[in-house]
Amino acid sequence: MDIHAIRTAFAFADGLADRALAFRDRRLALLDEGFAQVRVPPLRPRIVVHAAPVLALTRRDTHTVEELKAAALYLQRASRCARPRLTTKASSAQPVRTANAYAQLFRDGSIELVGLLSTGDVEQPPAPTIYPAQHELPLVQHGIPMIAQALATLGVPAPVYLFVSLHRRGATYVTVCRPRTRHAENRPLPPHLTDLLSPPVYVEDLGVPAAQLMAPALDPLWNAVGIDHTQTNFAGGGV
């Protein structure tokens, strides 16, 4: 951060987290209302990752289309979607597309990743079932490193606020391991928790291992089914 950015950051330090939360909440509201420029099927559980650099919260700088395209190449890998969107806050006249995942890169350097969660059907009781390792592993192994690469390509430094949000409708179960055994069980998410929102994760160094950075943002899903921390074995490739 240059001298101007440092001074601004100190001046607005008390409100930075609120600004980052406001950005996340605004984007989630648009997704819920179906106003995103790329829509995902609404009835399946989805995961949304937001990266809000402090520089984007304190300055109104924008990046050129060429810079955005170079950075978007990394997000394309993170989202596993055919082509990432490059957008501003202005509305687009292009038709809305439907996809299972997409990446959105804003001109100020903010980033949004959206993807449907892999679910299975359990027989007793019948309901979609989330297998956390199936989204936590790709996020830690690919998503966060690609976000870091995209920001580096744009020349946007840390600190960055990271958020993970999970949205679902109707009864949903989470597959977890029983204590002191290797047997799995399906635990229901509380009915009132349609949105599982992580706290703002303030990242001062994007070079820190992604599993360490993301642990606080992944825990809310596990907390909702009575487990303190993620059970995903990031070093071993699963649970």
**Peptide linkage before 159 cis (omega within 30 of 0):** yes
Contact between residue 135 and residue 47 where contact means Cβ atoms under 8 Å apart: yes
Q: What is the pLDDT of residue 118?
A: 77
pLDDT of residue 85: 44
The rounded average pLDDT for each run of 10 residues, N- to C-terminus, in the chain (239 residues) is 62 77 94 80 87 89 90 80 40 59 92 86 66 93 94 94 93 84 86 94 93 93 95 77
Q: What angle do CA 18, 1, 23 make, to 5 degrees?
A: 25
Phi, psi of 60 (to 5 degrees): -105, 25
pLDDT at 237 (0 to 100): 61
Neighbours of 96 (CB within 10 A): 11
Domains of the chain: which residue ranges?
Answer: 3-223
Q: What is the DSSP letter of 193?
A: -
Other CB atoms within 10 Å distance of the CB of residue 94: 9
> 109 with 88: CB under 8 angstroms?
no
